[in-house]
Amino acid sequence: MGKKIVICDFDGTITKHDSLDLFLNRYADKSWKDYEKLWFEGKIGSRECIRKQFDLIRGLDNKELDNFLRSVEVDDYFSEFYTKAKAQNIKVAIVSDGFDLFINSILDNYGISDIEVHTNHLEFRNGEFFMEFPNISDTCKKHSGTCKCKIVNDFKSKHEQLFYVGDGISDFCVCDKADVLFAKIRLADYCEQNSIDFIEYNTFYEVMNDDRLGLNV
């Protein structure tokens, strides 16, 4: 059994801004926000939401997609955090309801190519997007593409202490499963409203320097 594991959300957590929101805002019809609202209200699951949103994208080519992915910024301290965690044999994994095409490309632009990622699968061929959802669960109450609860519970059974870093709606159902939770923005608000203990953070600088994780010992 491993001692410590840090599980990180991706969009808005590792990235400075939500890459999917940035992408849809730039390339999709404005009605993508209507589906976002339905998802936020719990009226549709994330799988249905993202399929309908990506159906609103037209006329995109490989060059535009590559240029967009190169423009997405990662938290200024994430690379340093990840390097220190690896040096101390603390496992770091990404669990996201986003897409591997986005996550892997963005991290690769920052020289990070060896991190474990659990997310939805996306391919872009001949101007069309093709999605697969290998991490669904029949028991997922949110009908998410990636059931974070299922993955986090599996990691928790194999590690003595689980740290979680998140920021948004897709982290709500899983945040109370962490031994130590770092939260910001919507996730922090949710935790306050539901009396869930958390540590507020702005960047991975605070995560990296928290004594409970012990990266600077």
Query: Domain count of the chain?
Result: 1
Q: Which domain holds residue 161?
A: 2-15+75-208
User: Does 153 fall in a domain?
Assistant: yes
Looking at residue 44, what is its pLDDT? 94
Looking at residue 141, what is its pLDDT? 81
User: Does 119 fall in a domain?
Assistant: yes
Write out the DSSP string of 123-155: EEETTEEEEE-TT--TT-TT--SS-HHHHHHHH
The CA distance from 121 to 98, in Å, is: 8
User: Does 40 fall in a domain?
Assistant: no
Q: How confident is the model at residue 144 (pLDDT cuts 50, 70, 90)?
A: very high
Longest alpha-carbon distance in the chain: 51
Q: How confident is the model at residue 143 (pLDDT cuts 50, 70, 90)?
A: confident
Looking at residue 217, what is its pLDDT? 56
Q: What is the pLDDT of residues 147-198, one digit of tens each?
A: 999 999 999 999 999 999 999 999 999 999 999 999 999 999 999 999 999 9
User: Does 47 fall in a domain?
Assistant: no
Structure-token pair, residue 168: 């948004």
Specify the DSSP element, H or E, that contains 161: strand 159-166
User: Does 32 fall in a domain?
Assistant: no
Contacts of 44 (CB under 8 A, 6+ apart): 35, 38, 143
Residue (of 198, 195, 202) closest to 163 by Cα position: 198
User: Does 154 fall in a domain?
Assistant: yes
204 CB neighbour count, 10 Å cutoff: 23
Contacts of 101 (CB under 8 A, 6+ apart): 121, 122, 123, 124
Residue 94 pLDDT greater than 80, yes or no = yes
Looking at residue 109, what is its pLDDT? 97
User: Does 55 fall in a domain?
Assistant: no
Three-class SS state of 99: strand
pTM assigned to the model:
0.95
Looking at residue 142, what is its pLDDT? 83
Contacts of 206 (CB under 8 A, 6+ apart): 182, 199
Q: What is the pLDDT of residues 64-73, one digit of tens each?
A: 999 999 999 9
User: Does 29 fall in a domain?
Assistant: no
Question: Which CATH number do you get for residue 90?
Answer: 3.40.50.1000
